[in-house]
Amino acid sequence: MQINSNYIKFFFYTVIYKFGDTINFFTYLWLAYTVTDSAALTGIVAAFNGLPSLVFGLFAGEIADKYDKKKLLIISDITRGIIIIGLIILYLLQSINFLILLISTFIISTMEILSTPARRALPAFLLEKNQILRGNSYLSTGKIIAQLAGMSIAGFVISTFGVHISLIIDSLIFILCTLIIMTMQFESNFAIYKKAKLSVKNILVSFLGTFKEIRQSIIILKTIIAATFVNLFIGPIGLLTLNYCSNILKNGSKGQAILNIAILIGTLIVTVLFAKLKSLDNYWAIIRIGFYLLGISFLLFGFNSLMLIAIFIALIYGIGISLITNPSISIIHTNTSKENMGKMMSIISLVNESSIPIGTFVAGVYLEKYSVTSYFIIAGIFIILFMALFEYSTKFLFKGEKL
């Protein structure tokens, strides 16, 4: 597959960014758990991370389509780096509290929400349609390798040197991302719109056109519904594995890092296979398999208390996730018009990521009273039943639609 130089630069930027984002997520969970000493409060902090998607979600897509994508990414990355530096200082001064955690995660998440549609939309502009699945698979492979490295480093650093050292590494990575994106040139080549003044009326009119496109494409609608549901259960996976490793496996952050690595190896296996495919006729059949594997892995987690078996289950979980996510994003890229790509990514982020804080909050409250293993069992049953019933109902509603 011949890929232009901008895609190569974007690939390396994405890998480094994902490395930092992984360290940030892993470190932030343990920072919140250390400061609050409560699964429920940690769940609230994690859930608060999704609030900006509700507040700014619609604006983000319009901004991505009409404004300089390069500037959006630079502002996002440098702001995250500055906020993390502030957290380091407060941590060393022993001045971090629950309120500061909420405010900082809101700001960081806001920057992420405003830049995500631009970041997610770029592959559709950089690649031909017949390159989308392979191109996304390369990006996914790179991100998985970055996650593997991030989880390994974060878990080791936190357990050996402390949370503040992990935060320092995280801040330096986002500063590096800023420097990399500053060397890239792509906005003049890929902008759909010229800069225009944003207004509520223009945003609503523009998004109505995108919603119309969703209604006219059953496969996009079906993908969004399924992804939103599954995010209710995979969204709090960080909180779940934290609790699982602390209370069931009894191996803390090191155990969580090992499970996360196993998950990522599972996703890597699938993305490497996808990268070798020239094309795929039935995306939805792959997504369906992914759902069932995901449900099975949750059930197995619920009945297991041994680390070695947990690693194998995490591998299955990773395979299931990758079978869902890679075809899903390719469905969106290949079935959405380029003039609506940013807004489409914004709508998907708004809908899907709004389900993540809900799932995380529910999980946090549940874990205060009940065991994490019982949560895994219930979630596994729900995921399997959902896919079975969803397939049964949509077989008639979407009859004749090519998936």
Helix axes 218-234, 307-335, angle to 10 degrees: 150
Measure the CA–CA gap between 341 and 356, rounded to whole angstroms: 22
* Structure confidence at residue 278 (pLDDT): 60
* Structure confidence at residue 197 (pLDDT): 56
* Structure confidence at residue 188 (pLDDT): 41
* Structure confidence at residue 191 (pLDDT): 45
Residue 63 corresponds to which amino acid?
A: I
Residue 40 falls in which region: left (phi positive, over 0), alpha (psi -120 to 50) or beta = alpha
DSSP 3-state percent helix, strand, coil across the chain (nearest 5): 85, 0, 15
**Does the global pTM surpass 0.75?**
no
* Structure confidence at residue 190 (pLDDT): 44
Residue ranges in the chain modelled with pLDDT below 70: 1-4, 50, 53-54, 57-58, 60-62, 64-66, 128-131, 133, 185-217, 275, 277-281, 337-343, 346, 349-350, 352-354, 393-403
Measure the CA–CA gap between 19 and 153, rounded to whole angstroms: 10
* Structure confidence at residue 192 (pLDDT): 47
Tokens 């971090």 map to which residue?
96
* Structure confidence at residue 248 (pLDDT): 93
* Structure confidence at residue 341 (pLDDT): 65
Taking every pair of Cα atoms in the chain, the longest distance, rounded to a whole number of angstroms, is 63
**Domains of the chain with bracketed CATH:** 5-397 (1.20.1250.20)
Measure the CA–CA gap between 149 and 23, rounded to whole angstroms: 9
